[in-house]
Structure 1
Amino acid sequence: MVHTNAFAVTVAALLAALPVHVQAGLYSKNSPVLQLDGKSYDRLIAQSNYTSIVEFYAPWCGHCKNLQPAYEKAARTLEGLAKVAAVDCDDDSNKPFCGQFGVQGFPTLKIIKPGKKPGKPVIEDYNGQRTAKDIVDAVIDKIPNHVRRVEDKTLETFLAESNDSAKAILFTDKGKTSALMRAVAIDFKDSLTVAQIRDKEKASVELFGITKFPTLLVLPGGKEAEGIIYEGELKKAPIVDFLSKSTNIAPNPDPAPGKPKNAKAKDEKKASKKKEEFESASEKHAKEDGKNAGATATEEELEEDATASPDPIVETEKPIRLPDPAPPIPLLATEEEVVKECLGPRTGTCILALLSNTPDIVAGTAVSSLSEIAHRSRLHGRRLFPFYALPQPNPAYENIKSKLGLKDIDVIAINGRRGWWKAVPRESDSLAAEDVNEEKLENWVDSIRLGEGGKQKLPEGLIPEEPAEEEVEEPAAEEEANTDEQVEVEVNADDDEAVKEEDKSHDEL
């Protein structure tokens, strides 16, 4: 393709016309989603006794924006049971942190559950459906279970263990331990024993005089102490308050207490040094975009068979080199190039951005958005139909514009082989910058790739007819042999070839 200086200047002018703005994160201060960065991750997530799910996102990412309502709904549902957090990877200060977690596309979701050693959590990728229900189910499945299962045959031993220490027992008709009780047990881990007894354990039920299920009973500890039955609603906050007041045991603090000042200063000094190394090693960077938890919980405890967590502290990692910025989409400089790439009788789908001679913010937004989408596709090795800029000096510009009834600036998809085209959706007759932002263009491209939406037939004459192939005279066939034996051999040979060809076609489906 030919890229003249004039066209390069045009694209540069279009990109320069784009407004400079700072994008805020997706989640507000009032959002139920916890905001994280490289500094707060260790204290809020890695050191926590709770299971967490963390979203690594970029504010400009269309898929991240689509996920936001479901993710916030999941956060409200999981409140008090698990942590739902997010990291803005478009923030320069977070890029080393996101890179260390292997984030290559947005949104990336990871479930982080406590490991066997404090501060060394187990991290698993979440690859399930991006709905609130599926996210909630996956996270609940990973909440650690510290609730003891007690039966009639083990009750005496259970009560004899640390007789002076307090115990909480839930009498229930359910077979599995609820997420609520697992969360309560986490709050009192290593300070208050939480147990569960089924209704079918008749001796235990009669011993404590339980008549309805569920019933929560507290044994404050000591030989003379009598059991106290909880009469409140089955919600975490009042249950925790009841257990704390009836046993004089405070729930575990979460998040964990901060580090001593001297340790904090030392960490900040290390982080500052590594940040300088990172910035010098990655002068340029680009935005990246993208998209079931493995192990499941047993009734008693979770399997710890997932891949061990990488050390999430930024200063322990080497500087990360991020990809270069997205190059502008190619320009079609001549009419012949347009026919070869997009308007030929055998060309597939391609995206054309029609650009007028006058730099415009709409054209600049379109070029920038298409460049980013194409660049991310190449980075992730995804096959996508090509994107091109068609400037006004190219004779094909006026031909396409007039025959399709387009504006001076427009974005269309066109398929010469199948004879269809479609324009990018818009709110009004004229194309606006909002119509061609990255999110909307990416959704539109995805719909084309999936075959969604209507298409229009290309008018006659826009696609040049394919030149007729010259007829080549077949050489005269050799005179056939006169013997019946030769004829029979030839027929059999043809039959064998037909069978081979049929078998080959079945193999290839």
Structure 2
Amino acid sequence: MELQLLLVLFIGWASAMYDSKDDVVELTSANFQKQVINDDSIWIVEFYAPWCGHCKSLVPEYKKAAKALKGLVKVGAVDMTQHQAVGQPYNVQGFPTIKIFGGDKKKPTDFQGARTAQAFIDAAVNELKKTAQARLGGKSSSSGSDSGSRGGKGGNDVVELTDSNFEELVLNSKDLWLVEFFAPWCGHCKNLEPHWKTAATELKGKIKLGALDATVHSVTASKFNVRGYPSIKYFGPGEKSVEDAVDYDGGRTSGDIVQWALQKVTENLPAPEVQQATSQEVVEEACKDKQLCIVSFLPHILDCQSKCRNDYLALLKELADKYKKNIWGWVWTEAGQQPELEEAFGIGGFGYPAMIAVNSRKMKFSTLTGPFQKDGISEFLRALSYGKGKTSSVKGEKFPKVAKVDAWDGKDGVLPESDDIDLSDVDLDDDVKEKKTEL
């Protein structure tokens, strides 16, 4: 069974899903700023990958919406395999991601509706009304309250924190937290409130956002030496103490908050395990649903004993941690242990150690041609993360079979003992005499 790997990094193998005949505007790194950001029009923008099944299913409905909205709201699409930099500022992490760029282009909103033409049209009309109302100077139909309550009511994903629940919800939690300490009369706090709510929704499931009225719950606020408003503090994973609080130093827009928080989420991701390719199941489990699978071929244990091998494995673990945000799979095997893997990827010509990065969905791979050292491998992986690097086709156009082998026991290699020949019953002198007689 072939591994089901998703790839954004190898580019040029799939054509865009929209063309000039469609009402969907093709957006690129070259025109996005001018077409979307610097334009007064409202935009619905899809960030997609041509290989993505959900993206392909979306095409007909998206085209219908673009045709219906022509002249009212502009509809565009960005091929992220070709223009990855366009989506980076907006934390595009899955496909398709759809955002609406309304009156404030610096703060696009996520489209959360059904993926139908009617849902896109409804969202566009709502954005039109909101933008027109803002330009007119009117107020939103949903008025806020200055009662001091900022948390979890009416669809709000901000958790309301108090003196009585702070320790249980935040300090004793294993979750990541961003906590705002505010005062109801504080103007900066009021300005921050909608951004804080938006960020809480976007970050749901990744990091929790809370708010504590420091004028009411002064015991907790004093523990963290809160002297100004708003004060924002970050709490990392695992059980925490007051000393573990870190001052937030990012911007005050929802985009700034989300970007800062996602960086913390990435930093706290566990490093992927570097597993030995002992069977087909192990390799599939390690690389399933990953963008790429990094496969290393280490020297035979007799050529590189336990210390040498452990040094290589430590290097691979370090690099797996460094590039963990790419969510790649990592496996290794010993020279000669998986002959079909070596043949499929042409490893014999490079010697050991060797490394390849494979996209088994496309049956394409890249080979490390530089030194198998930290700098050489890091340069190779960095190029992959930007979608660069020479690719080759997997021999046979299918993922090779992985043989079932024993896992390395962590010990040095030992040459097999040869059987000793017992010569005690052989009279060599008599044998020599017989030979002389014959001569």
The alignment's TM-score, normalised by the length of structure 1, stands at 0.28
The alignment's TM-score, normalised by the length of structure 2, stands at 0.32
Q: Which has the larger radius of gyration?
A: 1
